């Protein structure tokens, strides 16, 4: 019967073990060794789930940089939210200010101009259109104002040229990146992205600054 080593928990087969059991023990050993082997990357990870205390070593160390990054919280790594970025279903992001949670895209589209208030409750959803208002006629709009059409079409529109809107609501294009002229104002349209709270986020922190 195999024994277990103290530090890594590796299995040391005995001569009396059956071949199948020995091969299984060796396979388990390889997995353990793979899990504890060093990871080298240019930056801290932006995807996948990571265990607490996992270390990523900097593959390009230099003066003024760090030796690596250590994960201080078990969870999923993801990039930070950014405005007007394109996302598809299944993408993950984390807020620019850490709240301990990660969010999954459940409706392909673009992030808004203002970062949404991300919910901390499990499974809660949020639409990425913070600050958007329903379009109004003959109103002065400034750059980065965000509006919805008076009839919902699943999109939001960002002002790219300041000016007064027209007396008649424009025909809102359903093609992302198409300019919409509205009196003296000009808009660009984007499909609305939606997010769902989907668990705990990993939190990698740099360590060992190189002098």
Mean pLDDT by 10 residues, the chain (211 residues): 70 71 70 72 95 95 96 98 98 98 98 98 98 98 98 97 98 95 98 98 97 92
Q: What is the Cα–Cα distance from 74 to 202, expressed in whole angstroms?
A: 5
Look at residue 32 in the predicted model and tell me its pLDDT. Answer: 63
Would you state the structure tokens that stand for residue 168, as one six-digit string? 């008649």
Predicted TM-score (pTM) of the model is 0.84
Q: What is the Cα–Cα distance from 181 to 117, expressed in whole angstroms?
A: 31
User: 194-200 and 125-127: which strand pairing?
Assistant: antiparallel
Look at residue 27 in the predicted model and tell me its pLDDT. Answer: 75
Look at residue 177 in the predicted model and tell me its pLDDT. Answer: 86
Look at residue 157 in the predicted model and tell me its pLDDT. Answer: 98
Residue 70, CA distances (Å) to 5, 80, 93, 104, 199 in order: 26, 18, 19, 24, 20
Q: Who's near 203: CB < 8 A, 6+ residues apart? A: 71, 72, 73, 75, 98, 100
Look at residue 208 in the predicted model and tell me its pLDDT. Answer: 96
The C-alpha angle 63, 69, 72, rounded to 5 degrees, equals: 145
């Amino acid at each position: 019967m195999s024994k277990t080593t103290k530090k890594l928990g590796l299995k040391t087969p005995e001569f009396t073990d059956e071949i199948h059991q020995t091969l299984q023990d060796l396979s388990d050993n390889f997995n353990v060794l793979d899990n504890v082997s060093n990871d080298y990357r240019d930056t801290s990870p932006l995807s996948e789930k990571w265990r607490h205390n996992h270390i990523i070593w900097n593959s390009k160390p230099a003066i003024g940089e760090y030796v690596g990054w250590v994960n201080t919280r078990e969870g999923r790594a993801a990039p930070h939210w950014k405005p007007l970025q394109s996302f598809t279903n299944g993408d993950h992001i984390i807020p620019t200010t850490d709240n301990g949670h990660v969010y999954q895209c459940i409706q392909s589209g673009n992030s808004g101009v203002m970062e949404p208030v991300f919910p901390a409750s499990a499974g809660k959803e949020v639409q990425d259109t913070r600050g958007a208002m329903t379009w109004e006629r003959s109103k002065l709009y400034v750059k980065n104002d965000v509006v919805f059409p008076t009839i919902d079409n699943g999109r939001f529109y960002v002002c790219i040229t300041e000016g007064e809107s027209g007396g008649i609501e424009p025909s809102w294009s359903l093609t992302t990146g198409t300019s919409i002229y509205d009196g003296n104002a000009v808009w660009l349209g984007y499909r609305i992205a939606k997010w769902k709270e989907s668990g705990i986020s990993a939190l990698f922190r740099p360590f060992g600054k190189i002098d």
